[in-house]
Amino acid sequence: MRLRSSATETRPTPPRTALVAALLGVAVTAGAVALAEVLTRVGGTGPGPVAAVAGVFIDNTPLWLKELAIGWFGTHDKLALGVGIGVVMLLLAVAAGLEERRRRYSGGAVVVVLGLVAALATVTRPDGGWVAAWPVLVSAVAGALVLVAVVNPTPGAAARPAEGAPSEADAPPTGPGRRQLLRGAGLLVGAAVVGAGVSRRVGRAPAAAPIALPPPATPAPATPSPATVGADFGVPGLAPYRTPNADFYRIDTAFVVPRVDAASWQLRVHGLVDREVRLKLVDLLAAPLTQAWVTLCCVSNEVGGDLVGNAEWLGLPVRDVLAQAGPRPGADMVLSRSVDGFTASTPLEVLTDGRNALLAVAMNGSPLPPEHGYPVRMVVPGLYGYVSATKWVSELEVTRFADAAAYWTQRGWAPRGPVKLSSRIDVPRAGRQLPAGPVTVAGVAWAQHTGIAAVEVRVDGGAWQPAELAADVSIDTWRQWRYPWTATPGAHTLEVRATDRNGQVQTGRRTDPVPDGATGWHRVDVRVA
Ligand SMILES: Nc1nc2c(c(=O)[nH]1)N[C@H]1C(S)=C(S)[C@@H](COP(=O)(O)O)O[C@H]1N2
Ligand SMILES: [Mo]
């Protein structure tokens, strides 16, 4: 076998057409991105390049653009961002191919610069760092070599003489040829794959066994049981009392769901404390755990929106961990931080006043699903998720509101986010055509850690009528309500409002979610035949 054929290397090949060069640019760039992602998964220590770039975008999106994106794409905003990044990459890859065709090495340089940008993003990510950037750097250099080799296989091939200009065909080709370039890329990739494999063997703990959930020391009222059987009216179309994990809304800044190794997970409690505490998962699971029903709600939830859900959580009360650490006088906030850098500012008072603020390990009887914070997350009754419900939690810093601001507070949202008294009509759905006669109007109402005392419905702006409330399981959860209505032909407007256990009546004043949660009555227009 001949390793080297100077005949094929030096014979000038006809230049690629623009279309072929563009396609080669796309293929090579896509290959380089895929290689970087695979190397990251196998032996890397941080996010892949796509997640890193997306993370930089997400963290730097101005509030107005974020609200616009959520308005357009809802919870598919990350998919939209992914498509956006893909389109930009596609254009840059085409440019790299065309550029390389125009001048040898210049398209390769475009690929290297793309790699450097992604590496910079990786370095600055909370879960990234310098070491985490090697897969994307290696892949970019390898991609650049391949691009040069396939678009301009022969040195000098790109130097196409213009019509009538003196021919350079006789000039000796300079620089490495196709085989040398490909061999260089191959060596680089081979070394990277071997390195990734070695670092995986050396650096990674063996895959952890699934978390074995202990029974709660303090159980919640079970469902169904005499205590909760009445919590669910079972009206078709009405949100069930328990939101199944698969249907639970998901909101976070993570472009890729963080994968946290349960065996090496640690919670570090530090800051204004007498002693720093480090808690491992085995210690957490061995402590007396509390089971509690808590309804979680997003501050971005619009009136009538579905960014709210109710689950039975199992976890260690946050106050137990804080008691071990001993908060110092003057501290008034706990800044919880996740492995991906998200932070939430929770009043210390709320975490220590005896309510079921948990470091949760289970949701509806199963270990937390990855997208809901596996292995451990916070859940705090009465506060919006952005100031309390940190998923993939890794740190609790005891501090002061005067000294630190959490992720969303830095981006214009209120530093404290108590949940606002809210109610929603689930059935009938807006715009629905109904037959005349008896109709069950039903929905949910919530005022976490205060509790719902009453719900009222009015039709066409008439007098408020009391609705029937389902059984009260906990003041920390939502409560179903229903109202029997006799529908008459024509267009009708249904509205709902709730009253909490403090006697506060839900305000009808409509406000936006920014900066501390929406207010206003949910209204549904229906047409009766
Ligand atoms: N690590 C992390 N935790 C987070 C967030 C996040 O972006 N990152 N978002 C918070 C917000 S805004 C809400 S509303 C809840 C949503 O929790 P869920 O996705 O389990 O419903 O998680 C909170 N915890
Ligand atoms: Mo949220």
Which residue has a Cα nearest atom 4 of ligand 1? 390
Task: Report whether CATH 2.60.40.650 matches the domain 422-528.
Answer: yes
In this predicted model, which residue has the larger pLDDT, 228 or 296?
Answer: 296
Examine the pLDDT at 5 and tell me if it is beyond 50: no
Sign of CA pseudo-dihedral 41, 47, 53, 55: positive
Question: How many Cβ atoms are within 10 Å of 113's Cβ, its own excluded?
Answer: 14
* Alpha-carbon dihedral 354, 355, 359, 361, rounded to 10 degrees: 120
| Residue 255 to residue 79: CA distance in whole angstroms | 9
What pLDDT digit, counting tens, does each position of 453-479 carry?
A: 999 999 999 999 999 999 999 999 999
Examine the pLDDT at 195 and tell me if it is beyond 80: yes
Q: In this structure, are residues 449 and 382 in contact, taking their beta carbons and an 8 Å threshold?
A: yes
Which ligand 1 atom sits closest to the C-alpha of 393? 1
| Residue bearing tokens 């404290």 | 416
Relative to beta strand 358-363, strand 333-338 is: unpaired
CATH number of the 245-411 domain: 3.90.420.10
Query: How remote is the CA of residue 494 from the centroid of ligand 2, in Å?
Result: 27
DSSP string, 423-484: EEEEESPTT-EE-SEEEEEEEEEE-TTT-EEEEEEEETT---EEPEEPP---TTS-EEEEEE
The residue-averaged pLDDT of 179-186 equals: 90
Which ligand 1 atom sits closest to the C-alpha of 309? 21
Token output for 395: 């740190």
Which ligand 1 atom sits closest to the C-alpha of 252? 7
DSSP string, 366-415: EEPPGGGTTT-EEE-TTB-GGGT--SSEEEEEEE-TTT---TTGGGTS-S
In the chain, domain spans: 18-161+175-202, 245-411, 422-528
Question: What number of helices (H) and strands (E) belong to the chain?
Answer: 11, 19
| Residue 266 to residue 395: CA distance in whole angstroms | 8
| Residue 371 to residue 251: CA distance in whole angstroms | 9
Q: In this structure, are residues 222 and 241 in contact, taking their beta carbons and an 8 Å threshold?
A: no
Pocket around ligand 1 at a 6 A CB cut-off: 248-254, 296, 298, 338, 340, 342, 372, 385-386, 389-392
| Residue 344 to residue 338: CA distance in whole angstroms | 9
Relative to beta strand 393-399, strand 377-379 is: unpaired
Examine the pLDDT at 416 and tell me if it is beyond 90: yes
Top mutation candidate among 299, 391, 396, 409 for ligand 1, by most atoms within 8 Å of CB: 391
Q: In this structure, are residues 500 and 476 in contact, taking their beta carbons and an 8 Å threshold?
A: no
pLDDT band at 41 (very low <50, low <70, confident <90, very high): confident
Give the three-class secondary structure for 144: helix
What pLDDT digit, counting tens, does each position of 502-529 carry?
A: 999 999 999 999 999 999 999 999 999 9
| Residue 315 to residue 368: CA distance in whole angstroms | 11
CA-closest candidate to residue 95, choices 83, 109, 84, 82: 109
308 strand-pairing partners: 297
| Residue 388 to residue 350: CA distance in whole angstroms | 10
What pLDDT digit, counting tens, does each position of 70-91 carry?
A: 778 877 888 889 999 999 999 9
Query: How remote is the CA of residue 249 from the centroid of ligand 2, in Å?
Result: 10
